[in-house]
Each structure stands twice: as structure tokens, then as C-alpha cells.
Amino acid sequence: MSDMGSVGIKLDDTYCGRCTICRSLCPYQAISVDSETGEVKIDVEKCQFCGICYSACPVSAIEIFYYDDETLAKHVKKLVKEKGSHILVLMCRGNSPSTCEVEEILQNQNISATDYIPVRVPCVGRINTEFVMKTLASGVDRIIAVQCEEDFCRYKRGSRINTRRQLLTKKVLRQMGFRDDALTLVKYARKAVYFTDKCVGCDKCAFICPYEAIEAEALATPKINLDKCIGCGACALVCPHLAIQLKGFEYENVSNVVQRYAQAARKLKASGIKPTILVFCCQWSEFSALDEHEAKLFDNKAVVMEIPCFKGLDPVLVVQALSSGFDGVLAAICSPEDCKLELGRDIAERNATVLQRALDKFNLHDRFAVYTASPRSVGDFNEKLAAFIQKIGTLPPFDSAIPAPVVKEGGTRN
């Protein structure tokens, strides 16, 4: 992938044919045309890096830093050779936090695929026919694209565009003699999961939901309207009995991962490598840090954990990380203008304020920070992380006096 400097997308006017297809498809009105010269321009500050314009440009005049066709195709070809699998599962970032869940999604669609190559992209709307052809020519027999349901696309129009594009691509593939299932489209949307047997009817979830997807019921457990649920995770944070959870980001599972990473952090510190940092990263604020984060465990003394949104950052997990061996915790989040789950930002900010007050009591406020990040600025996240590591490294060592949060028997949060 070529080095594009500090900006993650650019348009080469020498190649641009002024067809304005990119402008007509952009969900964020980030592309404009000069009325006098006809020059097409990209407003980087409005751009959300969905890649839809890149995939639609007929003359490849738009260059994008993340997940360009050539790099993706080479990556898939390499994985085919290494793993021997011939099934590629392309997943939208918004619906693919774990391999096991992907298998469950496919099973619900009566698709059997346990031996496959998983590849995540910000939006499947950026996947064009050329990439499909390159991939099928590289040894892949079947491509399964798991995209968000159209009404829940984090990039507004990506799923609709991909649905139309893949229908046309399938027709071309049939004409070329490919098997009928060479390209399969699966639609999925992340939702809250409700365990009514644990619910005590406190109605906190109904009060906090920014999308009015939970309705309080008199003398009964609340009612969830899944057609309105956007999967932000705000409800899961306030439920004291873990009766409502966000699929793929269940509290106990994430808590267990924090503990596992903390064990590795303690071993590193014992060997003289410190400080150790845990980064909770919104899946839309930074792309590269979330790719193969397991393989890059503690690269630069830090490990990254994905969260669905700032609203899905549980303050209890921050306390748990600091009480379990990490020297510092960083939250990398989107700015209010870039947030893909726009409603309820105040919920996350209130949680962060309460967390800071709790850390103040233990004199650990300097060990937690919230930074805004964006894919539009290549390398910006790495710079902020390096600065935070340096800051934590100047602080005196500490033996945390914070009592480690636990989940009591029966599923209540302490």
C-alpha cells in the first residue's frame, strides 16, 4: 500500500473523467464539483472513509489508504496459500467482532462454512466487481459477503449500493461459467440480546436508550423493539443484572479478555518491559490498530480491544484493567461529528465523567485518557498512543488499591 502522507484519501485530477459518479454516491456530501472548472474535489473533513467513491470510480482516480483493492487481493491470495481454505468471508466492521459469531450468522442462513478466510472491511459497499474477479482468480472458490441490514448501515448507503452491485456481479459470474454460489450475500444487524429471566424490571435500559428501542411495561419486563435497536450498547452498561447485552460484546466475555491481557501485562512488567497500556478503541475511530490486533499483542507496549461505540465503553472495565496490572488505559473514540451512532453521545460523556471522579479518589486520574481519532489522519492514532505511553512512563509505579470489579454469582455486576 502506498504512503499517502497524512491524508487517507485523495483524488488525482489528471485521471478524473468528471463523470461525478462519486459525488452521486457519497453518503456524506463530501464530494463537490467546481461550477466553473468542473474539477471534482473531496472534502476530507466531511469524508468518513467508507470507500464507496473509491469502489465506484471507473478510472481509478481516487486513491484510498485503507483496504484498497490491490492490497486486499494480495492479502487474500496470501491467506489462501497459508491456510489452504478456498472460502472468503467478507464482513462489515459493524457486524463482525468475533469468528464464532460469524459462524453462527452463517448457520442461521443455512450456510455451512467453518474453514474460511475472514476479512473485515469498514463497509462492504467498497467491494467492487474487480476485486471479486481478482479474488476468484486467486484460488478462492466462494465469496460470502456479510453486510449490515440496509436500514442499519453505519455508512448510510453502503449496504444498498452493495446489494445492487453484487446482483449485477452475480449475473456476470453466471455468464462466465462460475458456480451459482460463487458470490453469496448475507444481511445481518447487531442487536441487543434480552435475558428476561434475569430482568428485575428496573427500567434503567428503557430510560437510557437513545433510540427509543426499549419500552417500559407496567408490572412487566421492558419490551425491546428490535426494528429500532441500533446496537450501540448503552442499555447493557446500565443493567445491574446483565439481563441485556450487546451481541458479540457481552460483559463477561469482554471482562475475561481483559483479564487474559492483564496476565500478559504482568508478565511483561516482571521481565522489565513497561509501561503496559490497554486501549479501548471504537471500531470506527481507527482501522489499522484493530486489524490483526491479536498478532500484534503488546506491540509498542500496548494491546487494543475493540468496542462498538463510545457508548459501549463500560467504566467498570477501565477500573478492572487498572486493578489487574495495566499501567494506563486509553480510550480512542470518534469525535461527535464522526460518530456513526449519532444519538446518545451525552450518555458516554457522563460515564467518562463518573469514571474520572472514581479514579480521582485513588489518585489514578492521570492513568486514563480519552482521545479522539479518525481514519482520515494516517498515523494520528500511533502518535497519540506514543504520547500516552510516554506520559504513563513518567509516572511513578503503583500497586493499584482499586478493588477489582467482579460479576457475582447469578449475573449481577458489582
DSSP 299: B
Residue 400's CB is within 10 A of a number of other CB atoms, namely 17
Q: What are phi and psi of 192, to 5 degrees?
A: -75, 145
pLDDT at position 408 is 52
pLDDT at position 3 is 44
Pairing of strands 40-42, 244-246: unpaired
Provide the strand spans (E) within 43-139.
Answer: 62-64, 87-92, 117-121
Do 69-188 and 192-246 have matching folds?
no
Region 251-407: CATH code: 3.40.50
Q: Nearest 10 degrees: CA dihedral of 304, 309, 314, 315?
A: 80
Q: Residue 320 and residue 402: Cα distance in Å, rounded?
A: 8
**Could you give the CA distance from residue 247 to residue 303 in angstroms, rounded to a whole number?**
22
- pLDDT computed for residue 93 by the predictor: 84
- pLDDT for residue 354: 87
- Side-chain-side CA neighbours of 354 within 13 Å: the count stands at 10
Q: For residue range 188-202, list pLDDT tens digits in order.
A: 888 888 998 999 889
Per-domain residue ranges for the chain? Answer: 9-64, 69-188, 192-246, 251-407
Which CATH number applies to 9-64?
Answer: 3.30.70.20
Instruction: Specify the residue for cell string 500497586.
Output: 399
pLDDT at 65: 84
Helix (H) or strand (E) holding 307: strand 302-307
User: Residue 308's pLDDT is what?
Assistant: 87
Comparing CA positions, the residue from 268, 349, 333, 251 lying closest to residue 303 is: 268
* CB count in 10 Å sphere of residue 41: 15
The Cα-based distances of 251 to 30, 235, 283, 302 in angstroms read 37, 12, 17, 21
- Listing DSSP states for 231-276 in one string gives ---HHHHH-TT--EEETT--HHHHHHHHHHHHHHHHHHHHTT----
| Highest CATH level, class, for 69-188 | alpha beta
Residue 305 half-sphere exposure toward CB, CA atoms < 13 A: 27
Fold of the domain spanning 192-246: Alpha-Beta Plaits (3.30.70)
Give the torsion sign (CA, 375, 378, 379, 380). negative
Residues constituting the chain: 414
- Whether the Cβ atoms of residue 215 and residue 222 lie closer than 8 Å to each other: yes
Full DSSP string of 368-389: EEEEE--TTBTTHHHHHHHHHH
The three cell numbers of residue 382 are: 500511533
Where helices occur in 6-85 by DSSP H, the ranges are 21-25, 52-56, 69-83
CA gap 258, 321 in Å, rounded: 6
312: phi then psi, degrees, rounded to nearest 5: -95, 10
Residue 311: the pLDDT is 86
* Residue 323 burial (10 A CB sphere; 0-12, 13-18, 19+): middle
Three-state secondary-structure class, residue 11: strand
What pLDDT was estimated at residue 27? 93
Query: Splitting the chain (414 residues) into consecutive groups of 10 residues, what average pLDDT does each group show?
Result: 60 93 94 93 92 93 88 90 90 74 82 83 88 92 92 90 92 92 90 90 92 89 90 90 89 89 88 90 82 63 88 90 93 91 85 88 90 86 91 83 56 60
Furthest C-alpha separation in the chain: 69
The pLDDT, as a whole number, for residue 31 is 96
**Burial of residue 176 (number of CB atoms within 10 Å: 0-12, 13-18, 19+):** exposed
- To the question of pTM greater than 0.75 for the whole model, the response is yes
Give the Å distances, CA to CA, from 27 to 48, 258, 320, 381: 9, 36, 39, 25
Q: What is the pLDDT of residues 353-380, one digit of tens each?
A: 888 888 998 888 899 999 998 888 888 8
